[in-house]
Amino acid sequence: MKTILLKSGYSIPVMGLGTWLMNGRECFDSVLMALENGYRHIDTANAYENEDDIGQAIQTSGINRKELFLTSKVWYQKLRFKDVIDQCHSSLEKLRTDYLDLLLIHWPNKFIPMNETFKAFEKLVEEHLVRSIGVSNFTINHLEEALKSTVLPIAVNQVEFHPFLFQKELYQYCKEKQIVIIAYSPLARGKVFESDLLQKIGQNKDTGPGQVALAWLIKKGLVVIPKSSSEEHIIANLGALSITLSDQESSMIDNISENQRFINPSWSEFDA
């Protein structure tokens, strides 16, 4: 699988499996299917309450840990120094691993100083429990503050990003700062399948709108983490890796954006 080099010096596979809202047997089966079909990057979070299912699937797959890229996230209410350390240890135990490839602040929280959270991240990196660190749901203002709050490179910002939400300014800013964007909800939670333009571009390439949306993100240098619990979809999404979009097709997709956000939870007021 193609990878992108992070500012931390480690590489991240451009496609991973999203696991939000999957738990128990469904999560176990999906992760195992993904691993058996060539995925090596799994995205989870302490708040998803599925790290144990993922750990079991990894163990069952028998795949060498060194081949995998595992991301977890610390919840916005758990960003105090001790809470971060405790959450990371809990993630490691449930995932049955000695280290996380990437640990993220899940959502910003203005009531907890960023440098306190990052001090904990720094300790975890020093102890080799975490390789790269990053953030999620951060705006440019949050990133400005984050960059001043730690000696570690902020390797990624995981945000909602898909053809209906092309976050141009954030994209440019991250490019300048060499912060890789991980696009979450890259299929717009299913809405991409309704787009006439994505369907038309897909038909010309003998593929579907989902693969076209993912290929558009990958062409921009983003990492994608589509979620699926269906083997057919898990395999189909990998097809995006072998699609080449022309610059013209790409710019037509750039113009779809309706600034439509699907993830807007009540707790995002904590970053106001």
Ligand X SMILES: NC(=O)c1ccc[n+]([C@@H]2O[C@H](COP(=O)([O-])OP(=O)(O)OC[C@H]3O[C@@H](n4cnc5c(N)ncnc54)[C@H](OP(=O)(O)O)[C@@H]3O)[C@@H](O)[C@H]2O)c1
Binding footprint of ligand X on the chain (CB under 6 A): 18-20, 43, 106, 136-137, 158, 184-190, 193, 210, 225-230, 233, 236-237, 263
Smallest separation (angstroms) from ligand X to the CB of 143: 15
| Spatial contact of 19 and 51, defined as CB atoms under 8 Å apart | no
To 5 degrees, how large is the angle CA 118–CA 271–CA 100?
35
CB of 20: closest distance to ligand X in angstroms?
A: 3
Q: Pick between residue 202 and residue 226 the one whose CB is nearest to ligand X.
A: 226
Which tokens sit at 19?
């696991």
Minimum gap (Å) between residue 126 Cβ and ligand X:
25
Distance CA 11, CA 46 (A): 23
Report in angstroms how near the CB of residue 263 gets to ligand X at its nearest: 5
* CB of 9 or CB of 265, closer to ligand X: 265
**Residue 48 is among the residues annotated as catalytic for this protein:** yes
Residue nearest ligand X (C-beta atom)? 18
The Cα diameter of the chain in Å comes to 53
CB burial of residue 181 (10 Å; 0-12, 13-18, 19+): buried
Distance CA 172, CA 238 (A): 26
Catalytic sites, residue numbers: 48
